[in-house]
Amino acid sequence: MAKKYLMTPGPTPVPEEIRNEMAKPIIHHRTKEYQAIFKDATDGLKKMFKTSNDVFTFTSSGTGAMEASVVNICSPGDKVIVVRGGKFGERFGEIAKAYGVEVIALDVPWGSGPCPADIKDLLKNNPGVKAVYTTLCETSTATVFDIKAIGEVVRATGAIYVVDAISGLGADKFENDAWGVDIAICGSQKGLMIPPGLAFCSVSQKAWKAVETSKLPKFYFNFKKYKKAMDATDTPFTSAITLVIGLKKALEVINGKGVDNVIAEHIAQAEAFRSAVKAMGLTLFSKSPSNAVTAVNTPAGMDADALIKLLKTEYGVTFAGGQEKLKGTIFRAAHMGGIDREHTIESIKALESALAKMGYKFKTGSGVDAVTKMLGK
Amino acid sequence: MAKKYLMTPGPTPVPEEIRNEMAKPIIHHRTKEYQAIFKDATDGLKKMFKTSNDVFTFTSSGTGAMEASVVNICSPGDKVIVVRGGKFGERFGEIAKAYGVEVIALDVPWGSGPCPADIKDLLKNNPGVKAVYTTLCETSTATVFDIKAIGEVVRATGAIYVVDAISGLGADKFENDAWGVDIAICGSQKGLMIPPGLAFCSVSQKAWKAVETSKLPKFYFNFKKYKKAMDATDTPFTSAITLVIGLKKALEVINGKGVDNVIAEHIAQAEAFRSAVKAMGLTLFSKSPSNAVTAVNTPAGMDADALIKLLKTEYGVTFAGGQEKLKGTIFRAAHMGGIDREHTIESIKALESALAKMGYKFKTGSGVDAVTKMLGK
């Protein structure tokens, strides 16, 4: 059977050494042995987030941690600013509305990032805004937002700065504390290269003050329960043991290399991939491309989903399609987590073959030349 | 290294064939391949629950599904009856209160089950009660409740009947539809013998009517989102792919044998274990012992946690201790999921040795004779 290349922006391939670690006989979670694993994983997360704040681990998808970032700091009737430039920014707004929190939306065109000055104006014109919700990498549009610049605007106000870094962390540059992020959210199946099932929240001192006064109802995602348990190196509810064991191992790998070096590797892959598709005459969807994932417009008249199907069935390469209004017009390839140099090169080779088979005219070998020029053969 | 025996009431040992299945290279969740796995797992759950209702899979601990059973059917100010006979019954009450739902508590002594007539009286004296929350096996006290008899009382009223079957399912008899259960809750790391990280809710038509009018806020645990996705054989948020793959495999094993046969195996182990500890002169904590887990009182003057530590370090057998007010006075051994005949016999052998080492006087070999008489050598 030919080797398969999973290039989706979550899950990303889980390296064999991590899969094997998770496949060992299970241990109980209320033991010193597990406490040590959980503590190592938590310390490793803090390094990766670049934070001295607490980082909590939830058994949930990333959306669960997004909900946690709303229900733990807001009260009914609070106003929050939500940057909506794709499916996941919109989700923050949907969660806030579901809990009776008023959403001041900053809608930006899909594929673009928000202008920090616009957020500054919204904060000025809406005194008392409880929080600003935005995204590091908007996975649906493969767009990176300027989290550092927005942070400079938000930190000068009383608003809590919440960043969905679910797909960006480990591929796009991110500095939790230096950039003034109060709550950063991540998921397990992206840059952390373990299976889906865990989500994470860092929580700053500024955010804790909001937690103390928050009146929204919560139980499973209640930060206070996680904080109390964490102070005893424990979790309030049964921990997803095998995933945390994988997390510990993945963070050993990532922090062993150094997170900046890991990010540099993924940036190199992202740049090489973008260079290759451009050499083939294709265009990028995003005006501010993320290094976690690249969205490519299919040539006029070509159905992206047909291309994706062909790549998967004939060449063993799995790209992701467009979501919602982008369905059928883009394909997305990730560069984070377990996706390595070989994945990047092989996916471009397959893309050349598939595009040719579908009748797209371009200079044969131009993509492969571009990608290998940057990543080596 | 000597073989280890994990006897805790969650996680239970995960059979090697299931661990290996989960350790294969990961696949993407928005694919026909994964849809087929997810559908098989869901169909398998319905067989195990003995229900024709929908069964939803959440990425969370069991507590997340308990929260789902509150936020999806209640509205602020609703009254619910909560049977509190241990840590997990109490948790239902804590969740309800966190969401502004009024709790009518039926407190029963730890180690006993509720009297259905008491629930009938409470329902009669509190017209309009939205739901009755109770537990199949109260894991903290190793006590099984008479879910069938309570069901006969509740089904005659407008109240929704919610049963926490997290640790009981697959070891204690349970008939979702025949017993009139509206919402049954289960977790992955007990009778289902996969790692923790998934939780399940069955939802009856009667419960759906309450879902339609429920006004409590929710997003991640919103049944309607799961229902809409399930109708397209999908999940609303990223699925915990590897755990669902393990779930499918585990259900193939369980339903392959037949759930009644699996329960019969575990009942035989539970009966043999109870017989052995009684033969050694020990007493059971529960007046209504569950077949999922047995709680044993330690001899007067013996610290249960010291016994548990000795068993783990010297003999490789992991029992669980008592929780909250039972800490130090009981130890608990489970009989569900991946815990088999060999575990049961070896744990009794180790228990004999450890008790003797700690100075407890009993007839040597009495426990082993009793357990092997019932399970074979």
- Average pLDDT rounded to a whole number, residues A227-231: 96
Q: Find out whether B338 and B292 touch, Cβ atoms under 8 Å.
A: no
Closest partner residue to A220 among B67, B189, B238, by Cβ? Answer: B67
Instruction: Tell me which residue of A61, A11, A45, A87 sits closest to A187, measured CA to CA.
Output: A61
Instruction: Tell me which residue of B196, B83, B187 sits closest to B143, measured CA to CA.
Output: B83
Token digits of residue A231: 């102070």
Residues of A in contact with B20 (CB under 8 A): 23
Residue among B219, B235, B311, B323 with most chain A CBs within 10 A, to mutate: B219
Query: What ipTM does the predicted assembly reach?
Result: 0.97
Query: According to the model, what pLDDT value does residue A2 have?
Result: 75
Nearest CA in chain A to B188: A240
- Average pLDDT rounded to a whole number, residues A209-219: 98
Instruction: Tell me which residue of B186, B226, B159 sits closest to B51, measured CA to CA.
Output: B186
Closest partner residue to B98 among A60, A63, A218, by Cβ? Answer: A218
Amino acid at B240: A
Q: Residue with structure tokens 């467009």?
A: A322
Helix axes B341-357, B366-375, angle to 10 degrees: 170
Q: Find out whether B65 and B199 touch, Cβ atoms under 8 Å.
A: yes
In terms of Cβ atoms closer than 10 Å to its own Cβ (0-12, 13-18, 19+), residue A256 is exposed
In terms of Cβ atoms closer than 10 Å to its own Cβ (0-12, 13-18, 19+), residue B82 is buried
Query: Could you tell me how far CA B275 lies from the centroid of its own chain?
Result: 23
CB contact under 8 A, B237 and A95: no
CB contact under 8 A, A196 and B63: no
Residues A135, A141, A143, A146: what is their CA dihedral angle, to the nearest 10 degrees? Answer: -30
Q: What one-character DSSP code corresponds to residue B208?
A: H
Closest partner residue to A237 among B6, B61, B241, by Cβ? Answer: B61
pLDDT category of residue A377 using cuts at 50, 70 and 90 = confident
Rounded Cα–Cα distance for residues A54 and A203 (Å) = 6
Residues of B in contact with A237 (CB under 8 A): 61-64
pLDDT at A101 over 80: yes
DSSP codes of every residue in A23-60: TSPP--SSSHHHHHHHHHHHHHHHHHHT-SSEEEEEES
Residue among A221, A242, A318 with most chain B CBs within 10 A, to mutate: A242
Domains, in order of start, for chain A: 5-11+258-375 (3.90.1150.10), 16-257 (3.40.640.10)
> What residues contact residue B339 under an 8 Å CB cut-off, 6+ apart?
B6, B7, B12, B13, B266, B269
Sign of the C-alpha dihedral, residues A150, A151, A155, A161? positive
Residues of A in contact with B320 (CB under 8 A): 28, 30
Residues of A in contact with B318 (CB under 8 A): 28, 31
Q: Find out whether A7 and A319 touch, Cβ atoms under 8 Å.
A: yes
Query: Which residue(s) pair with B37 in the sheet?
Result: none
> What residues contact residue B134 under an 8 Å CB cut-off, 6+ apart?
B82, B83, B89, B114, B145, B147, B150, B162, B163, B164
Instruction: Tell me which residue of A71, A122, A61 sits closest to A98, measured CA to CA.
Output: A71
pLDDT at A1 over 70: no
- Contacts of B296-299 with CB under 8 Å at 24 or more apart are B296/B330, B296/B331, B296/B332, B296/B333, B297/B329, B297/B330, B298/B329, B298/B330, B298/B331, B299/B355, B299/B360
pLDDT at A130 over 80: yes
Rounded to a whole number of angstroms, the distance from the CA of B374 to the nearest CA of chain A is 28
Rounded Cα–Cα distance for residues A313 and B62 (Å) = 38
- Average pLDDT rounded to a whole number, residues A307-327: 96
H-assigned helices in A231-361:
241-257, 259-279, 304-315, 341-357
Nearest CA in chain A to B9: A28
Residue B116's alpha-carbon distances to B83, B88, B147, B149, B166, in angstroms, are 11, 19, 9, 6, 21
Q: Find out whether A167 and A333 touch, Cβ atoms under 8 Å.
A: no
- Contacts of A320-326 with CB under 8 Å at 24 or more apart are A320/A7, A320/A8, A320/A9, A320/A293, A320/B28, A320/B30, A322/A140, A322/A295, A323/A87, A323/A140, A324/A87, A324/A140, A325/A110, A326/A110, A326/A140, A326/A141, A326/A285, A326/A295
> What residues contact residue B45 under an 8 Å CB cut-off, 6+ apart?
B55, B57, B186, B200, B247, B251
Rounded Cα–Cα distance for residues A235 and A220 (Å) = 11
Query: According to the model, what pLDDT value does residue B1 have?
Result: 57
DSSP codes of every residue in B223-291: HHHHHHHHTTT--SS---HHHHHHHHHHHHHHHHH-HHHHHHHHHHHHHHHHHHHHHTT-EES-SSB-S
Residue B208 φ/ψ, nearest 5 degrees: -60, -35
Answer whether the bond into residue A11 is a cis peptide, omega within 30°: yes
pLDDT, one tens digit for every residue, chain B (377 residues): 578 999 999 999 999 999 999 999 999 999 999 999 999 999 999 999 999 999 999 999 999 999 999 999 999 999 999 999 999 999 999 999 999 999 999 999 999 999 999 999 999 999 999 999 999 999 999 999 999 999 999 999 999 999 999 999 999 999 999 999 999 999 999 999 999 999 999 999 999 999 999 999 999 999 999 999 999 999 999 999 999 999 999 999 999 999 999 999 999 999 999 999 999 999 999 999 999 999 999 999 999 999 999 999 999 999 999 999 999 999 999 999 999 999 999 999 999 999 999 999 999 999 999 999 999 98
Q: Find out whether A280 and A366 touch, Cβ atoms under 8 Å.
A: yes
Query: Could you tell me how far CA B232 lies from the centroid of its own chain?
Result: 29
Nearest CA in chain A to B222: A98
Closest partner residue to B189 among A4, A195, A238, by Cβ? Answer: A238
Residues B59, B62, B66, B68: what is their CA dihedral angle, to the nearest 10 degrees? Answer: 0
Token digits of residue B273: 């274990």
* Chain pair A-B, CB pairs under 8 angstroms: 159
Q: What one-character DSSP code corresponds to residue A319?
A: -
Rounded Cα–Cα distance for residues B82 and A181 (Å) = 41
Rounded Cα–Cα distance for residues A123 and A81 (Å) = 8
- Average pLDDT rounded to a whole number, residues A225-245: 96
pLDDT category of residue A181 using cuts at 50, 70 and 90 = very high
Residue among A30, A32, A38, A59 with most chain B CBs within 10 A, to mutate: A59
Rounded Cα–Cα distance for residues B217 and B224 (Å) = 12
Q: What is the pLDDT of residues A12-44, one digit of tens each?
A: 999 999 999 999 999 999 999 999 999 999 999
Rounded to a whole number of angstroms, the distance from the CA of A28 to the nearest CA of chain B is 6
Pairing assessment for the beta strands A131-135 and A79-84 based on DSSP bridges: parallel
- Strand, coil or helix: what is A143? strand
Q: Find out whether B168 and B286 touch, Cβ atoms under 8 Å.
A: no
Nearest CA in chain A to B235: A61
Residues of A in contact with B30 (CB under 8 A): 320
Rounded to a whole number of angstroms, the distance from the CA of A147 to the nearest CA of chain B is 25
Q: What is the pLDDT of residues B326-348, one digit of tens each?
A: 999 999 999 999 999 999 999 99
Q: Tell me the helices (H) and strands (E) count for chain B, helix number first.
A: 13, 15
Query: According to the model, what pLDDT value does residue A286 have?
Result: 98
Closest partner residue to A242 among B6, B195, B220, by Cβ? Answer: B195
Query: According to the model, what pLDDT value does residue A121 have?
Result: 98
Closest partner residue to B67 among A19, A95, A219, by Cβ? Answer: A219
Helix axes A62-71, A87-98, angle to 10 degrees: 40
Instruction: Tell me which residue of B293, B277, B270 sits closest to B341, measured CA to CA.
Output: B270
Residues of B in contact with A6 (CB under 8 A): 25-28
Largest CA distance in chain A: 62
> What residues contact residue A232 under an 8 Å CB cut-off, 6+ apart?
none
